[in-house]
A and B are shown apart, each in its own frame.
Chain A
Amino acid sequence: DGGITQSPKYLFRKEGQNVTLSCEQNLNHDAMYWYRQDPGQGLRLIYYSQIVNDFQKGDIAEGYSVSREKKESFPLTVTSAQKNPTAFYLCASSKGVYSGNEQFFGPGTRLTVL
């Protein structure tokens, strides 16, 4: 079945640690996205990538980093510089950023800072 997988489902981080969230898709989509979801605030765009080896900052990129070495994979690192990282993180993909196609989401990773 085609889809988007995210791991882990739950992640706990101590203050000062970097953690990496995994996102993999087998939809052959060019574009991938990372969002953060907080209660009452909707989805906020962290980073997005149109093609391999290229990515752009979204609205709240500070404290986060990404890489896009393979079309299928778009990992997100939450660094210690992110002051309030506890949130639900969602990865998404679409056929292409230029085309405004439907966007599909993974199941999410819930990050909690201890």
Chain B
Amino acid sequence: QKEVEQDPGPLSVPEGAIVSLNCTYSNSAFQYFMWYRQYSRKGPELLMYTYSSGNKEDGRFTAQVDKSSKYISLFIRDSQPSDSATYLCASPGTMATSGTYKYIFGTGTRLKVLA
């Protein structure tokens, strides 16, 4: 089992829809989570950085963490064609004995917002 998993999609929605992107993680010790947006042939862009449980909102984007079910979500309100991209969830994971964090990424969900 991968430590962070997400459905690869593609997910197609009409413009203006609310989009829900989801990931599950396997290690209950994970505390921090990130969502990235990656356009084709570009580097990932950090959208949200969240800690533990609860919601964090930034404009049209809301990140939600449910530690009890090890589930993280990204909601996009009023989706636009410019939101069409691949969305990656990630976590720094847990600190290794060396004192380092090895970031763990989901494989990404491809989103298409249709005009």
Contact = CB atoms under 8 A, between A and B. Distances in A.
How many of chain B's residues touch chain A, expressed as a range? 20 to 34
Interface residues of A, number: 28
B100 A50 contact: yes
A105 B49 contact: no
Contact of A97 (B43, B49, B101): B101
Q: Which of A33, A43, A101, A108 has the most CB of B within 10 A?
A: A43
A102 B49 contact: yes
B99 interface: yes
Contact of B100 (A43, A98, A107, A110): A98
Interface in B31-55: 31-32, 34, 36, 41-46, 49
A90 B43 contact: yes
Interface string A91-114: 010000111111111111010000
Given A102-B46, A102-B49, A33 B107 contact: no
Contact of B42 (A97, A99, A108): A108
A43 B42 CA distance: 13
A6 B43 CA distance: 10
A41 to B, nearest CB: 7
A40 B106 CA distance: 10
Contacts of B41: 88, 108, 110
Interface of B: 8, 31-32, 34, 36, 41-46, 49, 88, 90, 92-93, 95, 98-103, 105-108
Given A43-B88, A50-B100, A103-B92, 8 more contacts: A6-B43, A33-B103, A98-B99, A98-B100, A98-B101, A100-B92, A102-B46, A108-B41
